[in-house]
Amino acid sequence: MKNKLLIVIIAVCFISNSSWAQNSEKMDSLSYSLGVLIAQNFKQQGLESVEANEVAEGISDVLAGKEKMTVEKANEIFGAHMEAKQKDMHKDNVEAGKKFLEENAKRDGVITLPSGLQYEILTEGSGPKPAATDKVTTHYHGTLIDGTVFDSSVERGQPATFPVNGVIAAWVEALQLMPTGSKWKLYCPSDLAYGDRGAGQLIGPFATLVFEVELISIN
């Protein structure tokens, strides 16, 4: 949405300096059409409750060069609002993940790190631990908290090789703690996985994920 709004606002700036600006009837019609486009973008994002007068004032202030906040601050406010809205829309995932992790933390053998990542050691290896800049080869089996499999190198029968710092935050943290030859089970809060984006058809926004990860080698 931000990109669409940016295009519309750039169009306003361009047109206000064009020959259209000399024809008041054309400008009235064009200005109204831009308002319709902006409002449609708002509606598509569930922002029907915004204060239209404040939106108009913001546009007017920017065009006049007297805006009351920076673009960075505006992005921060907008981003925080949309994240909160996303969480509300997917509150079932948020609440289910929170409850799962709270109960899981009580089980014997489950270790909870300060980041919120939980793990248990299935097999303890004795080899070196990888650094963030290393490439590693692993076997893994990933599921949602209800057991739905969304990805598995084990089922494909083909280990995966990738940079340690090229995967989700939960893996980046865990892999650097794992001696080669280890097999751990990871319980990943959504903010250490795919967050509000989700991934593919099976991993929804704010989904908590579970992985069995075997660290085969450091390459």
Residues classed as catalytic: 140, 150-151, 168, 194, 211
Pairing assessment for the beta strands 118-123 and 183-188 based on DSSP bridges: antiparallel
Residues facing residue 212 across a β-bridge: 141, 185
Q: Yes or no: say if 142 and 128 are a contact pair by the CB < 8 Å rule.
A: no
DSSP secondary structure string, 20-37?
Answer: GGG-HHHHHHHHHHHHHH
d(CA 2, CA 16): 21
- At which residue do the structure tokens 């598995």 appear? 152
Q: Yes or no: say if 193 and 207 are a contact pair by the CB < 8 Å rule.
A: yes
